[in-house]
Structure 1
Amino acid sequence: MALMRRAYNLLFRRTSTFALTIVLGAVFFERVFDQAGDTLFDHLNEGKLWKHIKHNYEKKDEE
């Protein structure tokens, strides 16, 4: 109960800190969700994406 009271007093008591908490939470959630989606996509398409097969098609410059 003390933790909830402290969170309320620190983050949700004033409108300005409440709005800032919501905005920062949304930005953080978006970044985590985007990274998780990219990781899942890369895992499901392993060996099919250009970054995985480009070494088969690039020519090496011989000097």
Structure 2
Amino acid sequence: MALLRQVYNLMFKRSSTFALSIILGAVLFERVFDQAGDAVFERINQGKLWKHIKHNYEKSEEE
């Protein structure tokens, strides 16, 4: 119960800190969700994306 009381006193007692915690939580969630989505996309499309196959189409320095 002491932990819950500390969380309440730190974040939920005042409206301003409650709103700030919601905004920061939303921004953090968006960043994590975006990075996870990109990782899943790259995993599914491994070997099909330009960064994986561009060495097949770029000319080397020697030619």
TM-score range, shorter chain: over 0.9
Match of 1:55 in 2: 55
Percentage of pairs with the same residue = 73
Q: State the one-letter code of the partner of 2:26.
A: A
Q: Any gaps of 5 or more consecutive residues in structure 2?
A: none
1:14 aligns with 2:14: yes
The alignment's TM-score, normalised by the length of structure 2, stands at 0.94
RMSD, matched Cα: 1.1
Which 4+ residue blocks in structure 1 deviate beyond 2 angstroms? none
* Structure 1 residue 22, shift from structure 2 partner: 0.3
Please report the TM-score for the alignment, with normalisation by the length of structure 1: 0.94
Could you list the runs of 5+ residues in structure 1 that have no partner in the other structure? none
